[in-house]
Amino acid sequence: MSTQKFSTQALHTGHDVNSNGGTRAVPIYQSTSYVFKDSDHAANLFSLAEPGYIYTRINNPTNDVLEQRLAALEGGIAAVVTASGTAATSTTLLTLLKAGDHIVSSNSLYGGTYNLFKNTLPRLGITTTFVDPSDPANFSKAAKENTRVFFAESVGNPKLDVLDLKGISKEAKAFKVPFIVDNTVATPYLLKPIEHGADIVIHSLTKYISGNGSSLGGVIIDAGKFDWANGKFPEFTEPSPGYHGLVYHDVLKEAAFIAKVRIEGLRDHGAALSPYNAFQIIQGLETLKVRIKEHSSNALKLAKWLEGQEEVAWVNYPGLESSKYKALADKYLPEGQSGVVTFGLKGGYLSAKTVVDETQIFSLLANIGDTKSLIIHPASTTHQQLNEKEQADTGVTPDLIRLSVGLEDIEDLQNDLKEAFSKIRNTVLV
Ligand SMILES: *Cc1c(COP(=O)(O)O)cnc(C)c1O
């Protein structure tokens, strides 16, 4: 494993300038396919006897650089990039699970993931029990004989609960199932779940890692530590009919999972990342450290300021002294807690809708992690499809506003919110 530090790896890993014509920037290899030297070469590539590029749905040199960088930054052995964060989640689960299998998941989830687990996977015979993740023992309590994965977000979006990853990973180990962690909100600069026992890390690259709001992407990173031969995953130890009898565990050893993601998951489900988007995401990744530090310090300042505003009923940010996650944030996110802040208004649902309509610098849209500041009212948008109990479980209350604090000057962000609050002052005083 390289001894280079975070930003050096973010800027250099995976790109050999000498083999790429001296290009300082990573080139965009915008090609669907690759010319084989001859029919033997082609046959060897298809039988995995020789490594190489076959077709961009499966691998691509630009995507390859991004994969190597993200694997290095998270401390994994290898990675596969996907068309979106959602594709990273679905490709991971469809690679590992089959009809009859069961997931135990944290209930504090991104709305899209919650819907996938709650409504779509059951149509394929894969069911989920959602648990309160604040007590790691809840995962084991909900586990059944057919449970095959534990799933959680290291920092829940939008609840911003910081999980005891070490505690949950111990439960997963005892139950002999992989612990999958969505690390989108934290980013590998603030938190590396593999250091705390995660087996598989996924990200939406659409958010902080890209950072500029231009491109969707996702990644699956394999820690390379899970024992797929423990009896619960026969598809890794028995000949694969989808790959001419290949026994993943025997041939690919610790890379069995990530190889299966690429040569079966990408091949069969097709959620490949465009090389152009990989290029855009690489530009973002190169400056991740400086950006996420500034996002975090701007967010903490704004959260403290919000606590002093009379229209505000409560503020939730893991770095605040008042947060019930402060102790876990000190342990798991000592360098900062990202740019996502949530708060509630004394005026409730209607005031929240008014404020998101009135801000000028904060853009009303469904995203986080952009360099520009963003605002949304989840109860009427991203979490609209969930019933009240499900909204409460995922941390969404009717009065909640989610901010993704960008890199603008903090005084301008405060003035923007102050101006918007002035429009609800009458409601508060009633
Ligand atoms: C946005 C997001 C996703 C989904 O990613 P897309 O790139 O939008 O598909 C998954 N998990 C979390 C925590 C997210 O914030």
Positive or negative, the CA dihedral 281, 61, 75, 114 is positive
| Same domain assignment for residues 138 and 255 | yes
Q: Which of 260, 284, 308 is the last residue of a domain?
A: 284
| Residue 17 φ/ψ, nearest 5 degrees | -60, -30
Element (H, E) at 327: helix 326-332
Q: Which of 239, 259, 284 is the last residue of a domain?
A: 284
| Same domain assignment for residues 337 and 210 | no
Q: Are strands 200-204 and 179-182 parallel, antiparallel or unpaired?
A: parallel
Q: How far is the CA of 205 from the centre of ligand 1 (A)?
A: 8
Residue with tokens 């790896």: 9
| Same domain assignment for residues 262 and 346 | no
Q: Which of 284, 316, 341 is the last residue of a domain?
A: 284
Within a domain: 258: yes
Protein residue whose Cα sits closest to atom 5 of ligand 1: 85
Helix/strand/coil for 370: coil
Element (H, E) at 283: helix 275-286
| Same domain assignment for residues 272 and 295 | no
Higher-pLDDT residue of 426, 156: 156
**What mean pLDDT comes out for the span 42-54?**
93
Position 187 scores a pLDDT of 98
| Same domain assignment for residues 392 and 275 | no
- By the 8 A CB rule, do 222 and 257 touch? yes
| Same domain assignment for residues 247 and 99 | yes
| Same domain assignment for residues 377 and 345 | yes
Q: Among the atoms of ligand 1, which is closest to the Cα of residue 216?
A: 7
Query: Over the chain, what is the mean pLDDT?
Result: 95
Residue 428 predicted with pLDDT over 70: no
Position 1 scores a pLDDT of 55
Give per-residue pLDDT as tens, 264-298.
999 999 999 999 999 999 999 999 999 999 999 99
- By the 8 A CB rule, do 176 and 196 touch? no
DSSP 20: G
| Same domain assignment for residues 277 and 294 | no
- By the 8 A CB rule, do 72 and 2 touch? yes
Q: What percent of the chain has pLDDT over 90?
A: 90
Position 427 scores a pLDDT of 62
CA distance 206 to 411: 27
CATH at 346: 3.90.1150.10
Residue 110 predicted with pLDDT over 80: yes
| Same domain assignment for residues 268 and 300 | no
Q: Among the atoms of ligand 1, which is closest to the Cα of residue 153?
A: 13
Which candidate, 124, 232, 160, places its Cα nearest to that of 397?
160
CB of 185 closer than 6 A to ligand 1? yes
| Residue 380 φ/ψ, nearest 5 degrees | -100, 0
CB of 157 closer than 6 A to ligand 1? yes
Position 271 scores a pLDDT of 98
Residue 145, C-beta contacts closer than 8 angstroms, at least 6 positions apart: none
Positive or negative, the CA dihedral 44, 237, 136, 342 is positive
Of 13-22, 196-205, 419-428, the least confident: 419-428
Buried b / exposed e along 281-312 (16+ C-beta atoms within 10 A): bbebbbebbebbebbbebbbebbebbeebebb
Within a domain: 200: yes
CA distances from 113 to 130, 157, 382, 386 (A): 12, 10, 11, 12
Pick from 91, 155, 157, 160 the residue to mutate for probing ligand 1's pocket: most ligand atoms within 8 Å of its CB.
157
Pick from 84, 89, 110, 402 the residue to mutate for probing ligand 1's pocket: most ligand atoms within 8 Å of its CB.
110
Within a domain: 252: yes
Q: What percent of the chain has pLDDT over 70?
A: 99
Pick from 115, 163, 184, 201 the residue to mutate for probing ligand 1's pocket: most ligand atoms within 8 Å of its CB.
184
CATH at 125: 3.40.640.10
DSSP 261: I
Residue 412 predicted with pLDDT over 80: yes
| Same domain assignment for residues 23 and 137 | yes
Residue 17, domain extent: 6-284
Q: How far is the CA of 32 from the centre of ligand 1 (A)?
A: 26
| Number of separate domains in the chain | 2
Label residue 242 by pLDDT band (50, 70, 90).
Answer: confident
Structure tokens at 395: 């941390």
DSSP 310: T
CB of 86 closer than 6 A to ligand 1? yes
Residue 147 predicted with pLDDT over 50: yes
CA distance 8 to 226: 28
**What mean pLDDT comes out for the span 64-85?**
98
**Angle made by CA atoms 86, 92, 98, in degrees to the nearest 5:** 115
Q: How far is the CA of 7 from the centre of ligand 1 (A)?
A: 24
Label residue 393 by pLDDT band (50, 70, 90).
Answer: confident
CB of 204 closer than 6 A to ligand 1? yes
Give per-residue pLDDT as tens, 165-208.
999 999 999 999 999 999 999 999 999 999 999 999 999 999 99
Position 32 scores a pLDDT of 98
| Same domain assignment for residues 310 and 214 | no
| Same domain assignment for residues 82 and 98 | yes
Give per-residue pLDDT as tens, 340-387.
999 999 999 999 999 999 999 999 999 999 999 999 999 889 888 888
Position 430 scores a pLDDT of 43
Q: Give residue 410's Cα distance to chain centre.
A: 27
Label residue 392 by pLDDT band (50, 70, 90).
Answer: confident
Within a domain: 83: yes
Within a domain: 183: yes
Residue 426 predicted with pLDDT over 70: no
Element (H, E) at 179: strand 179-182
Residue 409 predicted with pLDDT over 60: yes
Which H, E and C letters describe 35-81, residue by residue?
CCCCHHHHHHHHCCCCCCCCECCCCCHHHHHHHHHHHHHHCCCEEEE
Within a domain: 303: yes
Position 390 scores a pLDDT of 86
Q: Among the atoms of ligand 1, which is closest to the Cα of residue 217?
A: 7
Residue 114 predicted with pLDDT over 80: yes
Pick from 207, 214, 404 the residue to mutate for probing ligand 1's pocket: most ligand atoms within 8 Å of its CB.
207
Within a domain: 1: no
